[in-house]
Amino acid sequence: MTWLITGGAGYIGAHVVRAMTEAGERAVVYDDLSTGVAARVPDGVPLVEGSTLDGELLARTLTGHAVTGVVHLAAKKQVGESVERPLHYYRENVEGLRVLLDAVTAAGVASFVFSSSAAVYGMPDVGLVTEDTPCVPMSPYGETKLAGEWLVRATGRATGLSTACLRYFNVAGAATPELADTGVSNLIPMVFEKLTEGAPPRVFGDDYPTPDGTCVRDYIHVADLAEAHVAAAHALTASPGRDLTLNIGRGEGVSVREMIDRINTVTGHDRPPAVAPRRPGDPARVVASADRVTAELGWKARHDVQDMITSAWAGWIRLHPEAARSRSS
């Protein structure tokens, strides 16, 4: 099997490429490098620089590399930016997917794994979010992911394409320091950034109906997430015609305050958080039910929150050596 991995030079994508190649699969990376880093692509893995809106380049890439399956991760993913630039997000995430699916079906590709998100659920008022929980996204980003699922499933029904839509929860950690998240839009690197500056981490709201008043989330190690992609790819190959929609999480909630306390401990800091006003649209609790993915794929997360923080900190120090000298007494 040869898998085209769109967005394969990104944070999550690079981990998926690594997991695929370690599993003995051939990989080809397709990335516009707008946020991806070419150095993340392993030696021996071809890198095609291009947009998913470029149907001709996609067609040449699929046929030229004899691609038999696609893992589609390339997308714009900042919730706040999506509110400010909805047309841009619909163009990149929905139209880009449509163009890709057009090329995929024309080339006779058999399997398609789609990177979705827990953002499709919006603000679920349930203890554990199952795949049957109603989807009511709260942002254009979440809307584009839900619309993407619709496109993927409809294409599968019409053409026989085997499909899997993987709904990620909060991704963290790194398999190796050089593959760590370079952005600061997720909680752990946001806290690292503040600690490096010598400033207190921020908590957005401490009056939620949760045990400590801060939001509760389900965190998944990026290496576990990558292995879930491999498991999904193998499942589609083994059973053509499958149509899977699966949560990828640990089924365990951790509050923002608890996460900051753990980060302080791992990094040797002692900076209590500063409380800022709630952010619009932040649900109090979003924790996955991971039962279906275990039943369908035999996959289960292996890494805990401690692993996520420790590995992410090693990657942060690699990029920000001054962070190691910023510990407060």
Average pLDDT, the chain: 95
Q: Does position 314 have pLDDT exceeding 60, yes or no?
A: yes
Angle (CA) 95-96-97 rounded to 5° is 90
Determine the pLDDT at residue 328.
Answer: 47
Determine the pLDDT at residue 33.
Answer: 97
Who has greater pLDDT, 323 or 24? 24
Q: What is the pLDDT of residues 208-249, one digit of tens each?
A: 999 999 999 999 999 999 999 999 999 999 999 999 999 999
- CATH number belonging to the domain at 2-171+219-248, selected among 3.10.450.50, 3.40.640.10, 3.40.50.720, 3.30.750.200: 3.40.50.720
- Angstrom CA distances, 257 to 260, 267, 288, stand at 5, 15, 19
Residue whose C-alpha is closest to residue 118's, from 176, 179, 186, 29:
186
Residues 6 or more apart from 71 whose CB is under 8 A from it? 3, 4, 5, 6, 8, 16, 20, 113, 115, 229, 233
Who has greater pLDDT, 283 or 158? 158
Which residue is associated with the tokens 């929980």? Answer: 133
| % of the chain with per-residue pLDDT over 70 | 99
Q: What is the pLDDT of residues 51-69, one digit of tens each?
A: 999 999 999 999 999 999 9
Q: Does position 329 have pLDDT exceeding 50, yes or no?
A: no
Tell me the C-alpha distance between 28 and 209, whole Å. Answer: 46
> What single DSSP character describes residue 223?
H
Determine the pLDDT at residue 182.
Answer: 86
Note the helical H segments in 90-221: 96-107, 140-159, 187-197
| Catalytic positions | 141
Residues 142 and 102 sit within 8 Å (Cβ to Cβ): no
Determine the pLDDT at residue 298.
Answer: 97
Which residue is associated with the tokens 């365990």? Answer: 252
What is the dotted CATH code of the domain comprising 176-217+251-325? 3.90.25.10
Phi, psi (rounded to 5 degrees) for 244: -110, 140
Tell me the C-alpha distance between 161 and 112, whole Å. Answer: 7
Cβ count within 10 A of residue 35? 17
Same fold, 2-171+219-248 and 176-217+251-325: no
Sign of CA dihedral 78, 81, 83, 89: negative
Angle (CA) 66-67-69 rounded to 5° is 155
Tell me the C-alpha distance between 323 and 315, whole Å. Answer: 11
Which residue is associated with the tokens 């503040």? Answer: 194
Tell me the C-alpha distance between 23 and 17, whole Å. Answer: 10
Determine the pLDDT at residue 15.
Answer: 98
Q: Give the residue extent of every domain in the chain.
A: 2-171+219-248, 176-217+251-325
- 14 burial (CB, 10 Å; 0-12 / 13-18 / 19+) is buried
Rounded to an integer, the average pLDDT of 33-43 is 95
Q: What is the pLDDT of residues 262-279, one digit of tens each?
A: 999 999 999 999 999 998
Determine the pLDDT at residue 80.
Answer: 86
